[in-house]
Each structure stands twice: as C-alpha cells, then as structure tokens.
C-alpha cells in the first residue's frame, strides 16, 4: 500500500518539529514541510500530489481554482480557527473534511506586542539604540514626552483591545474607545469612555486598532481620517492591514499627521523586499509577530500531529472545522 503524501505549508520559523513528536507521521506518510512562502504555480507544484495538506495560519492561499486542480486531495487542516485565504466552501463542496487546531494564547501575545510597539515608538527605542551603536549618547530628540496623563484611543474593545486598555490605564492614561457597535455601557466595563470615531482620532495621543476586518471596517482609516490625528500621535495596528489604507498612511506620515505609526500587519506578507514600508520615516514595522510565540507554536505543532495521526488512522478529527 502506497503511503499518503502529506504536505505542511508555511512553517516560516522552522518551529513545528521543535514542539511535538513527528515520528508516527514520518513512519505513516511521505511528509514534506515547506518553510518558504509559496503562491500561484509554486504553491500548486508543492501540493499537486498531496493527499493531505496542513497550513500554518493563512500562509498558503488556496482558492477554488487551485483546489479544483487537486484531485488527489482527501483532507486539509489549518492552525487556528479562521483562515482568510482558504476557500473552505470549495472543500466542503467536494466533501473534503477540514480540521483546525486551537489558537493558543494569541490574544495575550498580540496585546503584549501592541504595547511593545507603543512603547518602542513613543520612546524612540530603535533610534536611541542606533545612536548608541554609532558611538553617540543622547541628542536633542532624546527629550521625550510621557504617556501618563495622555489619551489612549482603543478601536475595538474585545479580548485584545480590553487587555491593551487595562495596561494603558495602569500607565495612567485616559481610555476612550470606539467601534461600530460600541455602547457607553460596554465601554464602562473596561473603565473606558465611548466616543465618536472623529473625537477618538482628533484627541488621542495613541490610537490602537483591534477590530475585525469586515464590510464595515475595511479601509476604515484612510486619508480623511488620518488628517484628523494629532501631529504628535501614534497609530498602531496589530489587527488586520485591511483596516488601513497603507498608501494613504505613507503619505500622511510625510505630512506629519499622525506623527508616527507602528504596524505589524501588511497587505502582502511576507512584505516584499523592495516595499517602501520597510524604510518609511516615522514608521516602526515588525514582521507580523502578534501570534509568534513558543506556547502558540507548541499548540499548532501538537494540533497538527494529533490531527494528521487521527486522519491517517481513520479516527475522529479532534477539532473539525466549523464554518463561521
């Protein structure tokens, strides 16, 4: 009997084998793990003979046309509970079962990264480090403002936004919030004040985005909204790049409204080598680190091995996909 071909996509960090035992999968299937980004024909070549595919997050865009070109495919899974680049309906139409894994503590890690970006931007950590490494000490830009007493505008007060708000309050910041369905009562549960989007943008020292990118929020922040922001403000996005018109943001940073931005998510990931966002003044960027943490990849790795072993042994899938 021929062993099934199992293809793992998107292990950019080469982390999956570190956190669980892959011996059974290696013995039962022909296992291939891809560490580089794959799209279009390169992606097809990687998966064309796959009986089963496992994807780390949404790093391999499998649309209906691509799925139609995979007649051998019998099972697919991805890590986490949502995948924005997978046409799950096309799989369901072919009766191909779909598995997922738990997401791990990604809300906690994203809140931590949000504050790393806020503090990194407001305290000029990168610039001050470069000053030291170049032989300097302090300069005229080293006299920095404080966050205590300033206003923190939190767009979206869910699991991540509420964590970010609590840290801001601990720093002595005034917390205001907005989302499409925010109410004064909901804001009050996090000791925040519900305000209009316009007031939040005009008055906040730091604006941090924690919204789901949907029909009512995609492109929410573009030139008109950016023009409202304080010249000393910081715009932070660790949520979804679709919330901000990134071309408008680059122009706004040149004109000084907002004064700075810090971004962890991008329209195209990995960010192309020649993308101007890599070297935009007053823009602090990180390579989508919000969910990159050891506990999360341990959850992913153990979830992949447990799910694929169950599929190979014809046992129930531990975490079947549930359409949203």
What is the tally of structural domains in the chain? Answer: 2
Q: How far is residue 110's CA from residue 108's CA, in Å, rounded to a whole number?
A: 5
Does residue 318 belong to any structural domain of this protein? Answer: no
Does residue 274 belong to any structural domain of this protein? Answer: yes
| Residue 316: φ, ψ to 5° | -60, 140
Q: How far is residue 168's CA from residue 174's CA, in Å, rounded to a whole number?
A: 8
Question: In terms of residue numbers, what domain contains 34?
Answer: 5-105+294-312
| Residue 33: φ, ψ to 5° | -115, 125
Active site residue 210: no
Does residue 319 belong to any structural domain of this protein? Answer: no
How big is the chain by its Cα radius of gyration, in Å? Answer: 22
Q: Where are the alpha helices (DSSP H) in 48-105?
A: 64-68, 88-93
What pTM value is reported for the model?
Answer: 0.91
The enclosing domain of 241 has a CATH number of 3.40.50.720
What does the angle CA 209 – CA 212 – CA 216 come to, to the nearest 5 degrees?
Answer: 100
Active site residue 269: yes
Active-site residue identified among 34, 57, 151, 288: 288
Note whether 100 and 40 are same-domain residues. yes
Q: How far is residue 16's CA from residue 54's CA, in Å, rounded to a whole number?
A: 11
Note whether 193 and 234 are same-domain residues. yes
Note whether 99 and 113 are same-domain residues. no
Note whether 82 and 153 are same-domain residues. no
Active site residue 288: yes
Q: How far is residue 88's CA from residue 182's CA, in Å, rounded to a whole number?
A: 31
Active-site residue identified among 174, 199, 269, 309: 269
Q: How far is residue 118's CA from residue 237's CA, in Å, rounded to a whole number?
A: 10
Note whether 42 and 117 are same-domain residues. no
CB atoms within 10 A of CB 277: 18
Question: What does the pLDDT profile of the chain (324 residues) look like in tens digits?
Answer: 689 999 999 999 999 999 999 999 999 999 999 999 999 999 999 999 999 999 999 999 999 999 999 999 999 999 998 898 999 999 999 999 999 999 999 999 999 999 999 999 999 999 999 999 999 999 988 999 999 999 999 999 999 999 999 999 999 999 999 999 999 999 999 999 999 999 999 999 999 999 988 888 999 999 999 999 999 999 999 999 999 999 999 999 999 999 999 999 999 999 999 999 999 999 999 999 999 999 999 999 999 999 999 999 999 999 999 876
Note whether 218 and 128 are same-domain residues. yes
């Amino acid at each position: 009997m021929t062993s099934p071909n199992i293809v793992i996509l998107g292990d950019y960090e080469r982390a999956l084998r570190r956190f669980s035992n892959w011996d059974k999968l290696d013995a039962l299937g022909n296992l291939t793990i891809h560490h580089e980004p794959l799209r279009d024909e390169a992606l097809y070549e990687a998966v064309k003979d796959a009986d089963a595919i496992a994807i780390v997050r949404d790093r391999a865009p499998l649309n209906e046309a691509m799925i139609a070109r995979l007649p051998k495919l019998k099972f697919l899974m991805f890590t986490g509970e949502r995948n924005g680049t997978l046409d799950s309906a096309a799989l369901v139409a072919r009766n191909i079962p779909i598995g997922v894994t738990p997401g791990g503590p990604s809300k906690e890690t994203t809140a931590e990264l949000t504050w790393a970006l806020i503090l990194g931007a407001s305290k000029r950590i990168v610039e001050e480090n470069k000053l030291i490494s170049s032989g300097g000490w302090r300069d005229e830009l080293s006299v920095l403002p404080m966050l205590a007493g300033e206003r923190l505008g939190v767009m979206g007060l869910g699991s991540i936004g509420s964590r970010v708000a609590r840290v801001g309050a601990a720093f002595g910041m005034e917390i205001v919030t907005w989302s499409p369905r925010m109410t004064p009562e909901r804001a009050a549960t996090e000791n925040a004040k519900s305000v209009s989007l316009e007031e939040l943008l005009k008055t906040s020292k730091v604006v941090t985005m924690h919204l789901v990118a949907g029909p009512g929020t995609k492109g929410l922040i573009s030139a008109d909204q950016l023009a409202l922001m304080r010249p000393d403000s910081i715009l932070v996005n660790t949520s979804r790049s679709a919330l901000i018109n990134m071309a408008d943001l680059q122009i706004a940073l040149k004109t000084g409204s907002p004064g700075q931005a810090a971004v962890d998510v991008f329209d195209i990931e990995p960010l192309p080598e020649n993308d101007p966002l890599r070297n935009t003044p007053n823009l602090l960027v990180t390579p989508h680190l919000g969910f990159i943490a050891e506990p999360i990849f341990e959850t992913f790795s153990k979830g992949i091995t447990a799910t694929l072993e169950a599929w190979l042994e014809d046992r129930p899938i531990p975490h079947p996909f549930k359409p949203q």
